[in-house]
Amino acid sequence: MVCLEAVYHRTFGSMAYYKNNSTVKLLIRTRKNDFSLVECEYYDKYDYKVPHSKITMTLSGQDKFFSYYTAEIVPPYKRLCYFFRLHCNKKEYVYKQFGFTNNIHDGDFQLPYINPCDVYNIPDWLKNGVFYQIFPDGFSNFGQKNVLPESYEGGTLKGIIKHLDYLKNLGITAIYLNPIFPSTTYHRYDVIDYFNIDPLLGTKQDFKQLVSSCHKAGIKVVLDAVFNHTSSNNPMFLDVLKNGEKSQFANFYVINSYKNGKPYNYDRFAFENYMPKLNTSNVEVQKFLIDVVFYWIKEFDIDGWRFDVGNEIGHNLINQIRNEVKKVKQQAYLLGEVWHDAPTFLLGNEYDGVTNFTLKDLLFKFFKNEIDVKQFVDDYYTYYFGIPNPAIMASSNFLCNHDTARAASEITDENVLKQMIAVQFVMLGTPLIFYGEEIGMKHCPTQKGDKGARKLMEWDKTKNNPLLDYYKKLIKLKTTNKCLSNENVKLEIENNMLVVIRENKNHQVKLIVNNSNKNKTIKLNKNYKNYLTNQTYLENQKIVVNSHDLIILAD
């Protein structure tokens, strides 16, 4: 017996969105394996003489409980009215906006008109892009002439410029820089001045040279926007401390109470007193932060922003930033730091994508054998069908960053690490490499917490490093193969192995991962070439995938 209560569709989010200026993508959820056929019937509400059209929806994937059916429709007049016909054992169920019905006059779903401003557009350069994250203090201290405070490594902008050939040879297409603004800490997430460069890093001229040199090398530059909070030494907050409620910046911060006219209790990032929270609902604060965004785009030609604590600065501010930035630089990238499921930020009117902690967490669970391959596929599909595909494409696939343990310290078997890296690169999304990750840098054993991930780059390990060579091959695959720029992914399980498939027209990239202690075989359904070894395989040939190994096939 079918479970009608499990059937769900709404004209919202991943279930109905404008893929481009002519195409609508629809998704409907049912209980797993309930229906043998799902159809979408559609029409134009003003064209009364033309019969309805019908399309068979594709079973695009399943998780533990549900089946997900999708279809792409090109409405002839950019308007769409539609409903669903679901079939099981010769019985048909009609599903409209208020549920199941036998009344043809009940309301149908509607997408009124495809306005270009409502299309989920992401920057074109992301689709085959690979990011390299640089923590400025820890990358290279070349040219550092200052006396450094304790805990600083002394990284400089000139140090990044010096190693641009290394980054270009690696093959990356963009760098993301953690904060570069004046602050009181080495991590610089407590901003004192949003319109200047920390002198320990260099000058504005150094930064101009860095951006210009990156662009000449075909590399985009994205900065870190710390808009949730400032430093307690920021002049605006110092003014509040001095003048209390009479300060012109009193409403710039979330001050909960005053005592003797001075701030007594105020909101902070986490519970850090030196990071008072900005009142991002304040129109004046919004204007100030938008001015910051524009300044670095217009004056230095940066290519986007990563928003720190991006889930706490408010939907209204993010929406305003997007609207204004895209007018000036349509291909600018807006990435939100969000550590949880983020569908409300990914509707096409706020962030392009978010930090993909969902994939990171799943990968570590899978490769640490905390979940099996079926659980991995189920959990990934639950995530995948809950967010529009462009948002996943624009989200950042990473294994570690400045806030986590380094991947090579978490996964000490290099063969297993290589498997995880391969999934990171072949899966839908934009891969990000944390500096030193490509050479197997580990968490510094003498430093606890975040600091251990932020030590100086080990440049001596960049010579004759097999892991680095492996990264270069995967980066080349991501940046050159059109299959990996497509907005769809298919996960399968064959002989208890994970299979990730990316397709473009008649071409395919297939990743096979054997995360077990036994060698396994798989039978091929077409001719392929092994991307990593150049060995050719024929249709119907059985090939062996060794224990804790992988094969990347391309046709």
The residues annotated as belonging to the active site are 308, 337
E strands, 89-124, in order: 91-96, 99-100, 109-111
Strand order in the sheet with 497-504: 490-494, 497-504, 507-514, 549-554, 528-530, 536-537
Assess contact for 341 and 324: CB atoms under 8 A.
Answer: no
* Separation of alpha carbons 292 and 212, rounded Å: 20
DSSP state letter for 239: H
- Kindly state the tokens that stand for 372: 């099996």
Place of tokens 């208890």: 496
454-463 contacts at long range (C-beta below 8 A, 24 or more positions apart)? 454/135, 454/137, 454/138, 454/153, 454/186, 454/187, 454/402, 455/138, 455/153, 456/138, 456/139, 456/140, 456/141, 456/153, 456/155, 457/138, 457/139, 457/140, 459/140, 462/166
Residue from 121, 128, 336 nearest 222 by CA: 336
- R_g (Cα) of the chain, nearest Å: 26
Assess contact for 42 and 95: CB atoms under 8 A.
Answer: no
- Report CA dihedral (57, 373, 411, 307) to the nearest 10 degrees: 30
E strands, 342-391, in order: 353-354
> What separation in angstroms does the CA of 431 have from each of 173, 252, 399, 452, 498?
10, 36, 9, 22, 19
DSSP state letter for 346: -
Q: What are phi and psi of 134, to 5 degrees?
A: -115, 120
CB atoms within 10 A of CB 544: 11
* Separation of alpha carbons 211 and 216, rounded Å: 9
* Separation of alpha carbons 39 and 87, rounded Å: 8
* Separation of alpha carbons 212 and 207, rounded Å: 8
Compute the residue count for the chain: 555
The three-state DSSP-derived secondary structure of 295-335 is HHHHHHCCCEEEECCCCCCCHHHHHHHHHHHHHHCCCCEEE
**SS3 of residue 521 by DSSP:** strand
**SS3 of residue 503 by DSSP:** strand
* Separation of alpha carbons 195 and 182, rounded Å: 9
Residue from 18, 14, 20 nearest 60 by CA: 14
* Separation of alpha carbons 61 and 32, rounded Å: 10
